A and B are shown apart, each in its own frame.
Chain A
Amino acid sequence: MRFLRKSSVYALLSVLGFILVYPLIWIFFGSFKTNNDILGSIKLLPAEFVLEGYRLGWAGSGQFTFGHFFLNTFQMVIPTVLLTTFSSYVIAYGFARFRFPMHKILFALMLSTLMLPPTVVIIPRYILFNNLGWLDTYLPFVVPALLGFSPFYIFMQYQFLRGLPKELDESAVMDGCNSFKIMTHILLPLSKPALVAAAVFNFMWAWNEFFSVLIYISSVSKYTVSLGLRMMMDIDAATTWNQIMAMSVLSMLPCALFFFFAQKFFVEGIAKSGIKG
């Protein structure tokens, strides 16, 4: 009886899980099909494996290859992720370890910006960046990252830092460490899990970001993968299915890889402070 119940739960979990990831499996195999094959059959596996989708899709339709868009995306994402992780750590340290005046109010303000819809402030931000001459560059992503723009990551690191015993700091003070050195030499090495989790989250968010890239980036030479995909879709969806599928698969690859390498941090990370998505 017990065995039966257990195996029925397994069966249910497996069937549901399969349905859930089937679209991902489908697009993966679809990217190796010919266009006729995609349209003509519901079989999962391609009738013949072709790399045409990848070859032609990568070459792109205009003057830029998809490789160019990938490089652009890395140019935007890597500084954003590094700066966000670092700045949110420093800010979290300030909130977690010091009781300065107005600490409570500022902390509450910081948390409340989590609920502030970005759509509401996008227009003045756009005008601000326009006046600064930052439009069509990656500065609207990189500079805010330096300013600890995402309270989500601050909160995440804050929660982690609060879990580290204060005695560590106190004994370091006895040894003559100043507060900066406590952060860099004592707490930072212990905070690796929180830093990795924040970086992974931020990477996925930045990599998939569409709305703000669409608004801030206008010239095709600066396009990220998201914009490149959308352009491809708009130009010729009817004729080049396998190319679009192939490039979609490639665009999902970095996130998938990151997820599998860091999943331990990941699921715990959201459980502790999760808000996104």
Chain B
Amino acid sequence: MNNRTQTQHSYKTRAKRLPKLISGNRQWVGLLYISPWLIGFLILELYPLMASLYYSFTDFTLLRKPEFVGLKNYIQMFTKDHNFWNSVVVTFKWVIIAVPLKLTTALLVALLLNKKLKHINFYRTVYYLPSIFAGSVAVAILWRFLFMREGLVNQILSAVHIPPVDWLGNPDIALYTLSMINVWQFGTSMVLFLAGLKQIPGDLYEAGRIDGANKIQQFWSITLPMLTPIVLFNLVMQTINAFQDFTAPFVITKGGPAKSTYLFSIMIYDNGFKYFSMGYAAALSWLMFAAIITLTAVLFWSSRYWAHYEDGGK
């Protein structure tokens, strides 16, 4: 008897609970699941972002409390710090050379790898391989060995009677050498391009062929326009990354020779963690943030004119 009422009871509550579980209450539970991220976001992203803005208006070494100094840091960087303008120029050069070079390579290789061939997966693996060591010190060391004065590249050059080049020691060349090295790890962009190429419907090419378009015309009027959303995505992500590149220039050239590879991130590191001028470093980092936001906004805005969306945009 007792047993039966219990079952009846539980059936009743279950019947009552069911609709609530599916709508209503059940949805609020979601907040519980994302709460770790929410906490992390507030403490590790939002607070530091605001704090670094505040620090950028202070004189702050770790030993003393931050002292509000207004625009002093910004004035100093624009008018007194001779490293600053050099670093700005070097960083923009770096972004302008390294990003298009990497993306063009990634696209060309993706076109090659998009063919339906046997063992194509093996080749994809090989071409991606360098990218698994992205940002590693070992790879930076490897390149330093290859391009130093007595390194393998110059040894090969001298074997074919070409005079050696001071790849990393000549201030006019070092940044270009580094951007060349940087191309090597194009794997991520390549894989994204490959995924994009797979999405292009085959009948577009069919129609192109009927209209008598050759391979090159097909590339310019079908492949490339269809890929523009992925070009935009790659461009944005690679630009953001390029602004912050650190490991390779830090380990290979240490920002030298003659500060010719002194990227902004190295400058932030030096000011913040070598000289412990946290306020100044925060100002530098906010300036970099502003540059990145501006550039990203320009890219997104300009994409209206060159990016093609099947559904007519947005």
Whether both chains belong to one complex is answered with: yes
Binding site for B on A (CB under 8 A): 6, 9-10, 12-13, 16-17, 20-21, 23-24, 26-27, 30, 39, 41-42, 87, 90-91, 93-95, 97-101, 103, 106, 109-110, 113, 115-128, 130, 144, 146-149, 151, 154, 170, 173-174, 176, 179, 183, 204, 207-211, 214-215, 225-227, 229-230, 233, 237, 241, 244-245, 248-249, 251-252, 255-256, 258-259, 263, 266-267, 270-272, 274-277
Instruction: Return A5 CB to nearest CB of chain B, in Å.
Output: 10
Q: How far is the CA of A4 from the CA of B246 in the complex (A)?
A: 45
B224 within 8 A of A: no
Min CB–CB distance B8 → chain A (angstroms): 16
- Secondary structure dominating the interface of B: helix
- CA separation between A98 and B289, bound complex, in Å? 33
Given A91-B33, A100-B27, A115-B240, CB of A120 within 8 Å of CB of B145 = no
Contact A21 B126, beta carbon cutoff 8 Å: yes
A-contact bits for B109-147, CB 8 A (1 contact / 0 none): 100110101000001111111111111111101111110
CA distance A183 to B273 in the complex (A): 43
The residues of B that contact A154 with a CB separation of less than 8 Å are 37
Report whether A267 and B27 are in contact in the complex, using a CB–CB cutoff of 8 Å. Answer: no
- The dominant DSSP class at the A interface is helix
**A248 B285 Cβ-Cβ under 8 A:** no
* A120: chain B residues within 8 A (beta carbon): 49, 52, 285-286, 288-289
Q: Please determine whether A98 and B285 come into contact, CB atoms closer than 8 angstroms.
A: no
Contacts of B55 in A (CB 8 A): 123-124
Q: Which residues of B contact A103 (CB under 8 A)?
A: 30
* Contact of B265 (CB < 8 Å), options: A99, A116, A119: A119
Partner pick for B34 among A23, A39, A106, A128, CB 8 A cutoff: A106
The reply on B225 being an interface residue by CB < 8 A is: no
Cα distance A225–B141 when bound, in Å?
13
Q: A94 touches which one: B31, B109, B139 (CB < 8 A)?
A: B31
Contact A124 B145 (CB under 8 A): no
Could you tell me if B285 and A113 are in contact, using CB atoms closer than 8 angstroms? no
Which B-chain residue is minimally distant from A99 (CB atoms)?
A: B27
